[in-house]
Amino acid sequence: MNITVKLFATFRFGRFAAATRQYPPSTQIGEVISELQIPESQVSMIMLNGRHANPDQRLNDGDSLALFPLVAGG
């Protein structure tokens, strides 16, 4: 299945800004995060099709996933 993955801020370093990638059916969000070699603890917010989501949620063909790192300085 095709999943559009959007990465923000530092997550783009050495990766990409946005890409449509192929995953096996019913892949979990957490599996995409680990495939991208992003430590899950660094993910501050996950949005799936514009709604907040959790790593254990399963993806469907055509889903759009956005991953945001922690931005917390002042």
Partner 1 sequence: MEELRQSLQDSAQDGLLPWGAQVAAAERFAVSIARAEEAALSLGILPARYQRNRQAIDVAQQQTLFRSRVAVVGCGGLGGYVIEELARLGVGTIVAIDPDLFEEHNLNRQLLSSPDRLGQPKVEAAAARVAEINPAVKLVPVQAAYSTENARALLHDVQVVVDALDSVPTRLALADSCDSLGLTLVHGAISGWFGQVTTQFPGDGTIRQLYSRWVEGKGAEQHLGNPSFTPAVVASIEVAEVCKILLGSGTPLRNRKLSINLLEMEFEEIVLAGLDRAVGT
Interface contacts to partner 1, rule CB under 8 A: 8-10, 12, 17, 41-48, 50-54, 56-57, 66, 68-74
Min CB(15)–partner 1 separation in Å: 13
Separation between Cα atoms, residue 36 and residue 74, nearest integer Å: 28
Give dist(CA 47, CA 50) in Å, integer. 5
Query: In angstroms, what is the minimal distance from the CB of 36 to partner 1?
Result: 15
**Would you call 5 helix, strand, or coil by DSSP?**
strand
CB of 8 to partner 1, least distance (A): 6
